[in-house]
C-alpha cells in the first residue's frame, strides 16, 4: 500500500466541535424523556433569533464571486443554499451538525449488543444538533414503528406494478401517493398560520421516514419474489425492522450494516441532486411526501444514486476477465484499459472531496471486522492501493481517491442482497433523514420560495461585450 493510501485509511477521533445548538440537558434517569418534537419546539424560537442575528450582521456581505463557467458547469461550487444538517469539507469530508462520522459512531446510541450508531439517533442529531439519550432513541424507534403502516390503496398500487418497473419508479410512486394523508396539506388548506407550518411538516416527515421500510420491503418482495411481508416489530429499532422486511432480519451483521449504511448515507449537505430537489420542491410549500418523491426521482439518475451499482458491475466484469485472485499487474492493466477505453473508474473522484471519503473508510472498517476474506472486498482493497497513483499519472482526476460508492455494493452483496436495481432504494430510505430534517427547519424558519436568476447565452455575451 502506498504511503498516501495508508495515511488516508487511518481514522482518527478529532476533538469534538461545539454544536451550534446548546448541549442536551437530559438525564437518562428522567421519568419521561423529552420527545423530539418537544425539544424542537424549544429550539425553534432560539434559532429564529440566531438566523435574524446572522442576517443582520452578515446579510449585506459578499459571499464569493460567481463566474460564467459556474453557470454552464451545473452551478458547481456556487454558494447558493442554507443547509443546516451537514457541511461537506473538501479535506475532511462530511460533518453532521459539526460531528465527523467517527465521532457519530462513538457518540450516538447503539442497539443492545451493537457497535454501529442507530439512525434514530442520527436523525435526532440532524434535527436538534444534540446527541440524544438511549431512552429518547428508543422512544423514537417506537414512534416510527407506530406510524409505519401504509394505506391499503398504496399497497395495491405497489402490488399492481409490473416487476419490470424499476424499484425506484415504484418507490417514487408510493411516496407521492402518501400525500393523500398529508397533515401539512390539510393544515395549509385549513388556513394554518405561517409560524405554525413546522408542526404538520414535522408530522409528515416522521410519517414519511416511518413508512419507508414497509414501502421498500413490499417493493423488494414483489420484484424479487421473497414472499409475504412480515409485520413491523414495535420493540425493534428502525434498521432491524427494515432488515426483517427485506428478509435479512436474522442476520445481525446485516442489521448492523444497515445501521451504518443509513447513518452515513443520510445527509451530504444540500447541493447534491436529491437534497437540493427536496429543498427546492419543499420551498413551494409542497408537503414532505411530494418534495421527497421529487428528490427520489433525482436520486434515481445514473450520475447520483446509481453509482454503487456501476461499481459492482465493473468489479464483477473485472473478475470475470482476470479471475478472483488476480495479481496487481493484471488489475493495473484492467484499470488502464478502462481509462484508455474512454471510461472512468467508477467509485473514484468526487465533486467536492479531495481526500478519501470517510464514508468509504467507515465501510472498510466494517468489512475488516465482518468479512475480511470476502473476494470482492479484497479486490476493492487491491484497487484502492492501485487506482489513486494510476489516476494521478493519467491526469484524469483532481481527486483520485474513492468515494462511498466504491464500497457499499460489495458489502450488500456479501450478505446475499445482490439485486443491484434495489440498491438505490436503500439509498433513498437513508437520504430521507437529511431531507426531512431540513424541510422541518425550512418551515420553522420561514424559508422562502427558491427562485434563482437565469441567463441566456445571448445575454451572457451581451453582458461582457465591451469588457476585456
Q: Which of 89, 166, 304, 374 is catalytic?
A: 304
* 287 and 152 within one domain: yes
* 217 and 144 within one domain: yes
Residue 149 has pLDDT above 80, yes or no: yes
pLDDT (0 to 100) of residue 51: 95
Mean pLDDT calculated for residue range 337-358: 85
Residue 7 has pLDDT above 50, yes or no: no
| Pairing state between β 86-89 and 93-96 | antiparallel
- Residue 175 and residue 295: Cα distance in Å, rounded? 11
* 190 and 248 within one domain: yes
pLDDT (0 to 100) of residue 3: 39
Residue 397 has pLDDT above 80, yes or no: no
Number of domains, the chain: 2
In a domain, 32, yes or no: no
pLDDT bracket for residue 1 (50, 70, 90): very low
pLDDT (0 to 100) of residue 294: 98
* 282 and 375 within one domain: no
Q: Kindly report the three-state secondary structure assignment for every residue of the chain.
A: CCHHHHHHHCCCCCCCCCCCCCCCCCCCCCCCCCCHHHHHHHHHHHHHHHHHHHHHHHCCCCCCCCCHHHHHCCCCCCCCCCCCCEEEECCCEEEECCEEHHHHHHHCCECCCCCCECHHHHHHHHHHCCCCCHHHHHHHHHHHHHHCCCCHHHHHHHHHCCCCCCHHHHHHHHHHHHHHHCHHHHHHHCCCCHHHCHHHHHHHHHHHHHHHHHHHHHHHHHHHCCCCCCCCCCCCCHHHHHHHHCCCCCCHHHHHHHHHHHHHHCCCCCCCHHHHHHHHHHHCCCCHHHHHHHHHHHHCCCCCCCHHHHHHHHHHHHHHHHCCCCCHHHHHHHHHHHHHCCCCCCCECCCCCCCCCHHHHHHHHHHHHHCCCCHHHHHHHHHHHHHHHHHHHHCCCCCCCECCHHHHHHHHHHCCCCCHHHHHHHHHHHHHHHHHHHHHHHHHCCCCCCCCCCCCHHHHHHHCCCCC
Summarised one tens digit per residue, pLDDT across range 90-112 is 778 899 999 999 999 999 999 99
* 171 and 286 within one domain: yes
pLDDT bracket for residue 23 (50, 70, 90): very low
In a domain, 84, yes or no: no
CATH code of residue 185: 1.10.580.10
pLDDT (0 to 100) of residue 401: 87
Residue 468 has pLDDT above 50, yes or no: yes
Share of the chain above pLDDT 70, in %: 92
Residue 205 has pLDDT above 70, yes or no: yes
Summarised one tens digit per residue, pLDDT across range 256-276 is 999 999 999 999 999 999 999
* 436 and 293 within one domain: yes
* 403 and 280 within one domain: no
Q: Strand order of the sheet with strand 99-100?
A: 86-89, 93-96, 99-100
Mean pLDDT calculated for residue range 404-419: 93
In a domain, 462, yes or no: no
In a domain, 41, yes or no: no
CATH code of residue 407: 1.10.230.10
* 293 and 158 within one domain: yes
pLDDT (0 to 100) of residue 14: 38
Residue 382 has pLDDT above 90, yes or no: yes
Residue 209 has pLDDT above 50, yes or no: yes
Asked which of 154-158, 174-178, 344-348, 454-458 is least confident by mean pLDDT, the reply is 344-348
pLDDT (0 to 100) of residue 20: 41
Domain of 351 in residue numbering reads as 306-415
pLDDT (0 to 100) of residue 31: 65
Nearest to 115, CA basis, from 348, 428, 332, 366:
366
pLDDT (0 to 100) of residue 76: 84
* 326 and 227 within one domain: no
Other residues' Cβ atoms within 10 Å of the Cβ of residue 400: 22
405 in active site: yes
Chain mean pLDDT for the chain: 91
* 326 and 300 within one domain: no
Q: Which of 204, 405, 407, 442 is catalytic?
A: 405
More confident residue, 133 or 306: 133
* 427 and 373 within one domain: no
* 291 and 221 within one domain: yes
Q: Which of 265, 276, 350, 414 is catalytic?
A: 350
Query: Contact, 143 vs 261, CB < 8 A?
Result: no
- Residue 125 and residue 105: Cα distance in Å, rounded? 12
- Residue 309 and residue 301: Cα distance in Å, rounded? 11
Structure pTM?
0.90
Amino acid at each position: 500500500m502506498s504511503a498516501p493510501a495508508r495515511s488516508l485509511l487511518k481514522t482518527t477521533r478529532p476533538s469534538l466541535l461545539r454544536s451550534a445548538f446548546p448541549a442536551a440537558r437530559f438525564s437518562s434517569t428522567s421519568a419521561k424523556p423529552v420527545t423530539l418534537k418537544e425539544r424542537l419546539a424549544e429550539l425553534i424560537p432560539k434559532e429564529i433569533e440566531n438566523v435574524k442575528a446572522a442576517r443582520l450582521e452578515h446579510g449585506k456581505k459578499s459571499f464569493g464571486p460567481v463566474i460564467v463557467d459556474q453557470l454552464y458547469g451545473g452551478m458547481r461550487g456556487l454558494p447558493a443554499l442554507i443547509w443546516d444538517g451537514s457541511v461537506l469539507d473538501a479535506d475532511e469530508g462530511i460533518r453532521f451538525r459539526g460531528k465527523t462520522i467517527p465521532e457519530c459512531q462513538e457518540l450516538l446510541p447503539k442497539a443492545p449488543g451493537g457497535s454501529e450508531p442507530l439512525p434514530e439517533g442520527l436523525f435526532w442529531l440532524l434535527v436538534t444538533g444534540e446527541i440524544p439519550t438511549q431512552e429518547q432513541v428508543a422512544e423514537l424507534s417506537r414512534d416510527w414503528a407506530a406510524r409505519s403502516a401504509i394505506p391499503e390503496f398504496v399497497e395495491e398500487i405497489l402490488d399492481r406494478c409490473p416487476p419490470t418497473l424499476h424499484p425506484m419508479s415504484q418507490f417514487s410512486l408510493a411516496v407521492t401517493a402518501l400525500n393523500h394523508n398529508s397533515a401539512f396539506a390539510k393544515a395549509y388548506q385549513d388556513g394554518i398560520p405561517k409560524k405554525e407550518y413546522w408542526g404538520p411538516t414535522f408530522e409528515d416527515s416522521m410519517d414519511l421516514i416511518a413508512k419507508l421500510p414497509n414501502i421498500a420491503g413490499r417493493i423488494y418482495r414483489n420484484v424479487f419474489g421473497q414472499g409475504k411481508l412480515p409485520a413491523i416489530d414495535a420493540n425493534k429499532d428502525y434498521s432491524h425492522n427494515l432488515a426483517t422486511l427485506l428478509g435479512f432480519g436474522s442476520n445481525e451483521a446485516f442489521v448492523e450494516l444497515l445501521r451504518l449504511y443509513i447513518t452515513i448515507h443520510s445527509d451530504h449537505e444540500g447541493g447534491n441532486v436529491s437534497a437540493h430537489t427536496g429543498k427546492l420542491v419543499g420551498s413551494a410549500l409542497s408537503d414532505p411526501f411530494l418534495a421527497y418523491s421529487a428528490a427520489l426521482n433525482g436520486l434515481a439518475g445514473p450520475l447520483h444514486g446509481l453509482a454503487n451499482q456501476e461499481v459492482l458491475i465493473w468489479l464483477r466484469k473485472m473478475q470475470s476477465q482476470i479471475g478472483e485472485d488476480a495479481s496487481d499487474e493484471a488489475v493495473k492493466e484492467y484499470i488502464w484499459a478502462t481509462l484508455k477505453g474512454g471510461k472512468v473508474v467508477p467509485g473514484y473522484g468526487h465533486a467536492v472531496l479531495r481526500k478519501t471519503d470517510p464514508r468509504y473508510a467507515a465501510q472498510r472498517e466494517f468489512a475488516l471486522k465482518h468479512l475480511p476474506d470476502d473476494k470482492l472486498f479484497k479486490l476493492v482493497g487491491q484497487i484502492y492501493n492501485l487506482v489513486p497513483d494510476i489516476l494521478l499519472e493519467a491526469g484524469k482526476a483532481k481527486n483520485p481517491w474513492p468515494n462511498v460508492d466504491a464500497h457499499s455494493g460489495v458489502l450488500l452483496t456479501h450478505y446475499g442482497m445482490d439485486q443491484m436495481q434495489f440498491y438505490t432504494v436503500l439509498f433513498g430510505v437513508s437520504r430521507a433523514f437529511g431531507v426531512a430534517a431540513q424541510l422541518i427547519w425550512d418551515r420553522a424558519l420561514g424559508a422562502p420560495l427558491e427562485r434563482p436568476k437565469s441567463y441566456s447565452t445571448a445575454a451572457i455575451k451581451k453582458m461582457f461585450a465591451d469588457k476585456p
